[in-house]
Structure 1
Amino acid sequence: MLERTLRKDRTEVTFVLPADSPPGPVSVVGDFNNWQPGAHTLTSRKDGTRAVTIELPHKSSHSFRYLAAGDYWFNDDSAGDLDGSNSRLHT
């Protein structure tokens, strides 16, 4: 799930997943972090989910996927768009 918060000069996007599905560490990997695994690892929240927030420019589009333990890549169905085999995020 994606949560967006509009700020004066940027959009904060929070990537949210259940605490244990998939199990193990998960990071969000995309063109905004040069597809670098581990650059944005989701951490536990009090509500039982895990998340990471990144800042992106207003009115921009980005390709991304999640990377879980065991080299398991998957998309975010809530993103709404696909870019080839990747999820597509619009701010």
Structure 2
Amino acid sequence: MLERKQLKGRTQVTFILPEDSPAGPVSVVGDFNHWNPAAHPLTPRGDGTRAASVALPAHGTHAFRYLAAGDYWFDDDHADAHDGTNGRLHT
């Protein structure tokens, strides 16, 4: 799931997944962090989910995916669009 919050000239996007699905560590990776899995790991929250937030320039489009343990790449069904390989996010 994706949550958005408008900030001055930016959009804060929070990437949210269930705490246990998939099992193990998960990171959100994309063109906004040079596809670096160490940049935005999802961390547990008190409501049974895990999340990572990223502030992105407003009025842009970004490619992203999730990377889980075991080199398991997957998409977010709630992405604004998909380009065949990646989810697309419009800010």
Aligned residues: 91
RMSD: 0.7
3-state SS, counterpart of residue 78 of structure 2: helix
Q: Does 1:61 align with 2:41?
A: no
Q: Could you tell me how far apart the structure 2 residues matched to 1:80 and 1:54 are?
A: 16
- TM-score with structure 1 length normalisation? 0.97
Q: Could you tell me how far apart the structure 2 residues matched to 1:63 and 1:10 are?
A: 17
Q: Once superposed, which parts of structure 1, at least 4 consecutive aligned residues long, lie more than 2 Å away?
A: none
- TM-score with structure 2 length normalisation? 0.97
Q: Does 1:32 align with 2:32?
A: yes
Specify every segment of 5 or more residues in structure 2 that has no aligned partner in the other structure, as ranges: none
Q: Could you tell me how far apart the structure 2 residues matched to 1:8 and 1:45 are?
A: 26
Q: Which residue of 1 aligns with 2:16?
A: 16
Q: Which letter does structure 1 place at the counterpart of 2:47?
A: D
Q: Which letter does structure 1 place at the counterpart of 2:24?
A: G
Specify every segment of 5 or more residues in structure 1 that has no aligned partner in the other structure, as ranges: none
